[in-house]
Each structure stands twice: as structure tokens, then as C-alpha cells.
Amino acid sequence: MPLGDAATLKDYLPLLLQGIPITLELTFSSIILVVISGFVLGLGRSSKVRGIRWPSAFVVEFFRGSSAIVQLFWAFYVLPFFGIELPPYVAGVLVLGLNGGAYFSEVVRASFASVPKGQTEAAAALDLSAWFRLTRVVLPQALPLMVPAFGNALIDMLKFTALLSLITINELAYRADAIRSVLTEGGEVYGLTLLIYFVLSLIFSFGVQRLEYLANRWAGRGELTRRGPGRKGKSGVPRWAFPSRS
Amino acid sequence: MTGFSWDWQFALQILPQLLQGLQFTLEATFFGSLLAFVLGLVWAVIRLAEVPIFSQAIRLVVEFLRGTPLLLQLYFLFYVFPNYGITIPALQTGIIGLGLYYSAYASEVYRAGIEGVPRGQWEASLVLGLPLRRMWGRVVVPQAMRFATPVLGNFVISMFKESAILSTITVLEVIGQANIIGAATARYIEPFTLAGLIFLAISYPASRVIRLVEARLSG
Amino acid sequence: MGDSEVAELAANPPSTVDTVLTMHDVTIAYGERVVVDSLNLAVKPAEKVAIIGPSGSGKTTVLRLAIGLERPSAGSILIDGRYMWHIERAGVLVPAGERQARRARRPVGMVFQQFNLFPHMTARQNLTEPLIHVLSLGKEEANHRATDLLSRVGLATHLDHRPAQMSGGQQQRVAIARSLALRPKLMLFDEVTSALDPELVGEVLQVIRELAHTTSMAMILVTHEISFAADIADRVIVLDHGKIVEEGPPSIVLREPRSPRTQQFLRAILER
């Protein structure tokens, strides 16, 4: 502990913790954009109309071509030159949301593609409207497949909000960095902050598991929700695969 | 701030500096991937072996690495090491950080790959009396890698893109160089756009190649 | 196994004279479900035994127990006079682990319903793998034997083909050759034709028939091919709910079965 420095980490703790609601707000704002853009781009890429498919593919590959941090810097430093002055919060959520949405769109595309064609055909034969077909027949079946990816995206958003500290947003990571420079200590504050993120991501994981259960229920997949002993399955590593002592 | 203008001469001028940064990017990606793939396998095997307590501990470590921001992990490594008298240059710290973070993801891929090998393969090996190292080395892992290889390939590409984050711990890779140029000349369009294009120019073809490999392996 | 059971075993060891496999009061249960119930089975050298019965009767489990893929909850298994899951220590039988099972299962071979060939290796390599790494043969000799065995099952032309390039019948024949490579004293066949298209069944049965007539291997076949079983088996065992309900020569078991369960089962099969 440097001499003459009366303040300790404990004194700055409230300041650090106040970053949590900001981080959560950013996370949820971003994930909403991820889902929206994911669906738009995912369905766009599945479209049979080239005029929709190609631009969608272009946007997706564009955002997947570099990392979030590069895009954040570009939005923060370069866009003003184009006359677009986005407040950091907006720029941050926009970049995270579109970047995450580009990745999520692949999952959306694959999930919709995996719903058997027979379903849409049967629905059409029953004279059900296109909207009904999409939302009440195809979507419920595609949804459970998207939930795990959604869960990953949610936790990714949580982690990526830390990058927003680099464009001057006063969330958790920013505060940790500030506290470190004030206290001029080693990385202890970062260790504590990492734990905070860890706890948050665990909470999110549990939430997502619950979501998965509900999504399977909605899709009528009761069997997948039961937490039974593992099936005497076709895979899984047998006990004797590892050297034993006896 | 001046309005939108693109100076081709300036762009060409700064390109060499950016490409210099690319060297560090590639170095970080290469060694980071190596570390991730080796460490990931270690985590995976420990978890699959279901060693009491130890396996659970590793599971926690993996969840921690995957569930917390890479940025903070890098900061932690960067500031903690010197405190305990260990001086590691920034690039190497970055490599360790990237390697650790991605090893958590790699371990999940290995696990999925190994668990995806059909039971019958394990049983045939047992029934034939194959030594364990042949069962693992010649039967199981080759089949697991069919699944794992494209995914791990994508991780390399991800790491390549993500390496930009090393600029936050003073590594002068592509984005780090772009930052310096921008701060020095007050011209941000050229350096950052070129940086973005460099990333795109490498990662897009690479991901197409991976997709080809994936198609080949599953065919 | 309880201590009292172990002690009892030591006092009254099951007769192992001249058997290639002995199962003594073998029971295996998964939680509440008893799959094999106090089974007693002895197979003599060169004897051919067929096990038939309704699905879920535990037939496959009996084979898996015989080769040590499953461990019994109670009872003992001996292969060629050697305990599979027990070690004798100072005159008392003590439960043992995988290492002991490994030693015990050496004389036993198994052919699976799903073939379980190594898909990334050629037919030849599927055979040389155990030849080199279990029998410690040199590369040349292993190759020689592999070629020999594959010719025996009629696949000399497919030596360097991968499983994906072969039909089901061909793959199963490779699987049989692979098991034969280790020269087992007891061969287990687990419904080896059930996963095959009907027109490919014959070629596999032909190979098995040839093995039955030309080798001195003991064989246990779990099968739905009743007429085939009648043809080559010395003894037929009918299993139901993990218990033996009928046992005897094929002529009796299959034509004049005593147990009503067997009659029911055979009627159902023949009516198909």
C-alpha cells in the first residue's frame, strides 16, 4: 500500500458497485437490439428475394469481419467526421447490438431452416394465414433452438459492455480502471470486478436455463424439459476410458 | 474537426506502420491459439475424467474465464504481475490473456467433440483390448477432431479479430498503431478505416476457407 | 457384493472345470429395474449357444456381461477359469476393478449389431490395429494376417476400402474378421444381422456358419434368426425378463417348448 494514501479499496466500493445498474442497463439495451437485428438479418438472409438477401448478407459479413472493439473505435472516432455525432451510450449500444445481431442472425437462420418444411406446408393446406403460419407454427418450433444462442449472446453483451469503458462510458469496468489509477495499486480491484461480472453471468445463466425450459414447453416438447438421468446414450465418455487405480 | 475527406497520400503513408502492427497481431494470434488449444485440451480431459473436486474446480475456472470480460482479465494480468515482481512484456501478457480466455472455449469444443464420438467406438476398443492410449490417440481423438477442427479454426479467426483489445495494454498492434496515428495527426478516418479493412481482408477469406474445410470434413 | 457373498464364493466356488464362460447367480439391476436376474450359465469350449427371447429380456445385457462391458450387481463371472471382477487374496475373493476385467476378457471377442468399425481406417487398418497393439505383432506379420482374415470372409478386394465405401454386410464381415484376429476362445454375436438390409443378411450368416463348422471357438449368438439358430446351435436358451425360461437342444426348445412364455414368443415370431 503506497505511503500517504489513506483511502483503500473499501472506500471506493460503493462507487464501483454503482456501476452495476449501468452495466445491466447497457446489457439489456444491447440484447434487445441483438434480437431485433438478429431476426431482421436472419430472416433477410433466408429470403428468396435477392434484393433482400444480398444486403443482409453484406451487413452480416461486415460486422463479423472485425471485432467489436474495432467497430466501437470506428463509431466513436470516425463517424463524427461523417457528420454523425453519436453520444457514446448510443454508439456503444448500436455497435454491440448490431455486432451481436450479426452473429445471432446465423442462429436465427439455421433455426428457421431446421423446422421441417412439412410444417409450413401443412399449415398452408389448412388455409392458415401467412402471419399465423410464421408466428404460431414455425416460430415456436424454431425458438427453443435459439435460446441457448440467446443465452450466450446475453452473456457476451454483459462482457462487451466492459469495452464501452474505452469510449468513456461510466460503467463497471470504467470505474474499476479509475479506482485503480487513483489507488495506484496492482490489479486487485480488477480481481474484485471480475468476480462481480462472474456472479452476474451466473445469474444470467440460470435465467437462460429457465427460459430454455419454458421455450421447450411452449413448443410442446415436454420430454426435453424433464431432468431425468442421462439416457443410456450413444455418446458420453465411459468410466473405464480413464486409467483406474485398482 | 474537419469534415469528411479522404487523403489517399496519407493513407498510403501510414499503411506500413499499420502493417507493422499487423505483425504483432499475427504473433499474438498464433501463440495465443497455441496456448488456447493446449490448455483447452488439458481442461477438457480433466473435466471428462470426473476427478473428484479437481474436475469441479476446473469447471469453475472455465466458467469464470468464459463468463467475465477479456478486457478485465487482461488488465488484471497486466497490473498484477508487476506487483508480485514478475515483469512480462505487454505482448506476452496479451498472449497469455488471449490464450487463457480462449482455452475455456476450446475446452468446451474438445468436450463436445469427444462426447460426440459414438459409444460403439469406445466399446469396440475395449472389447478388442486396445491399450488406453491407442483408444484415445488412434480411435477417439481423430474422430473428435473431425467435429472440433472447424470450430477451433473459427476461434483462431475470432482471436485474430479480438487481438485488437491488446491495444488497451499498450501493445502496438494494428488498432494500437491506428490510435497513435490518429492522436498524432488528428486524422482518424484513414487509420481506423484502413485498420478495419485489414481485419476484413484477412478474416473474411479465412472464414470462407474454414467453411470449405467444414464441408469437406462432414462430407 | 456383500462380504457374506464374497465369503460364500470362496467356500463354494462355481465349477469352472472345462468351461469357457461361467456365470454364477449373476444379477444386474439399474436402480429399481432388474435386467438380469440371478442367471446361471455355463458354456463349454467349442459349444455353440443361441439366446433368444422378446426384446427387453436382457439378451444383449448377458453378452455385455460376458465380455465385461457391464459389471454385475451380484454374482460372479469366470472366463476360462479366471474371475472377471474378483481377485483371490489369501484364499478370499475380493472385488476387483477394470484392470482385472481387462485380463479376464482376453479370450473373448464380440461382434456388435452396429458393426462399430473405426470409420477413419481402412478394413486392413481396422484389423492391424489390434494385431499390432494388442498381440504385439510386427507390421509385416500383422498385414499378412489381416489379409488372410479378410480373404477368409470374402473381402480380399476391399482391403484398402473405408467402411463408408462398403455395404452393411461387408462391414459386418470386416467386424467379424477383426474379432477373429485376436483368436478368441469365445465369440459373442449381438444380433449381428438385425441392422442389415434383408438381402445382406445371408452373406453374414454364411460366414458365421463357416466359423461354427471349421473352428473350435465357443459361440454365443443373440439372434432373431430362429432357423439359423436351430441350424448351428448345440443349445438354445430362451430368456424372458432376465431369467432363463427354457434351455435345451434346438429340436426340443423350438419344436416342443415346455414353458408357456416360450410358446407365446415363438408363436409371435412365426406369425410374422
The C-alpha atoms of residue B59 and residue B56 are separated, in whole angstroms, by 5
SS3 B113: helix
Confirm whether B3 is domain-assigned: no
Domain hosting residue B167, numbered range: 8-218
Segment C14-29 mean pLDDT: 84
pLDDT value of residue B1: 44
Across the interface, do B63 and A202 touch by the CB < 8 Å criterion?
yes
Query: Domains along chain C?
Result: 3-107+184-270 (3.40.50.300), 120-183 (no CATH)
Confirm whether A1 is domain-assigned: no
SS3 B27: helix
Across the interface, do C99 and A244 touch by the CB < 8 Å criterion?
yes
Distance from the C203 Cα atom to the nearest Cα atom in chain A, whole angstroms: 28
Mutation target among C63, C67, C118 for the B interface, most CBs of B within 10 A: C118
Closest to C120 measured CA to CA, from B155, B38, B149: B149
Higher pLDDT, C267 or C175: C175
Residue A87 is classified by DSSP as -
In chain A, the number of structural domains is: 1
Confirm whether B167 is domain-assigned: yes
In chain B, the number of structural domains is: 1
pLDDT in 10s for each residue of chain A, 246 residues: 444 455 677 788 888 899 999 999 999 999 999 999 999 999 898 888 888 899 999 999 999 988 899 999 989 888 888 888 889 999 999 999 999 999 999 999 988 888 887 877 787 777 777 777 777 778 888 888 888 899 999 999 999 999 999 999 999 999 999 988 888 777 788 999 999 999 999 999 999 988 888 888 877 766 555 544 444 444 578 888 888 764
pLDDT value of residue A181: 86
Global confidence as pTM = 0.85
Confirm whether B28 is domain-assigned: yes
The C-alpha atoms of residue C82 and residue C106 are separated, in whole angstroms, by 11
Across the interface, do C110 and B121 touch by the CB < 8 Å criterion?
no
The C-alpha atoms of residue C45 and residue C20 are separated, in whole angstroms, by 5
ipTM for the whole complex: 0.89
User: What are the CA-CA distances from residue B98 to residues B141, C3, C213 (Å)?
Assistant: 25, 54, 64
Across the interface, do C96 and A246 touch by the CB < 8 Å criterion?
yes
Rg of chain C in Å (alpha carbons): 19
Query: Any idea what the CATH number is for the domain that residue A29 is in?
Result: 1.10.3720.10
Confirm whether A237 is domain-assigned: no
pLDDT in 10s for each residue of chain B, 219 residues: 445 678 888 889 899 999 999 999 999 999 999 999 999 999 999 999 888 899 999 999 999 999 999 999 999 999 888 888 788 999 999 999 999 999 999 999 999 999 999 999 999 999 999 999 999 999 999 999 988 999 999 999 999 999 999 999 999 999 999 999 989 998 888 899 999 999 999 999 999 999 898 888 775
State the amino acid at position C126 in one-letter form.
Answer: N
61-80 of A, contacting B, C-beta below 8 A = 61-62, 64-67, 69-71, 73-74, 77-78, 80
Confirm whether B103 is domain-assigned: yes
Sequence-separated (6 or more) residues with CB below 8 Å from residue C8? none
6-45 of B, contacting A, C-beta below 8 A = none
Residue C11 has pLDDT above 60, yes or no: no
The C-alpha atoms of residue C79 and residue C23 are separated, in whole angstroms, by 9
Chain A residues close to C97, C-beta within 8 Å: 244-246
Confirm whether A132 is domain-assigned: yes
Confirm whether A48 is domain-assigned: yes
Confirm whether A2 is domain-assigned: no
| CB burial of residue C116 (10 Å; 0-12, 13-18, 19+) | buried
Domain hosting residue A173, numbered range: 10-222
Query: Any idea what the CATH number is for the domain that residue B96 is in?
Result: 1.10.3720.10
Confirm whether A231 is domain-assigned: no
Confirm whether B73 is domain-assigned: yes
Higher pLDDT, C179 or A218: C179
91-150 of A, contacting B, C-beta below 8 A = none
The C-alpha atoms of residue A240 and residue C99 are separated, in whole angstroms, by 9
Confirm whether B2 is domain-assigned: no
Listed in order, strand segments (DSSP E) in C44-100 are 48-52, 74-79, 82-83, 86-89, 92-95
**A236: Cα separation from own chain's centroid:** 28
User: What are the CA-CA distances from residue C162 to residues C118, C133, C165, C203, C238 (Å)?
Assistant: 9, 20, 5, 19, 37
Confirm whether B53 is domain-assigned: yes
C132 to chain B: closest CA residue:
B130
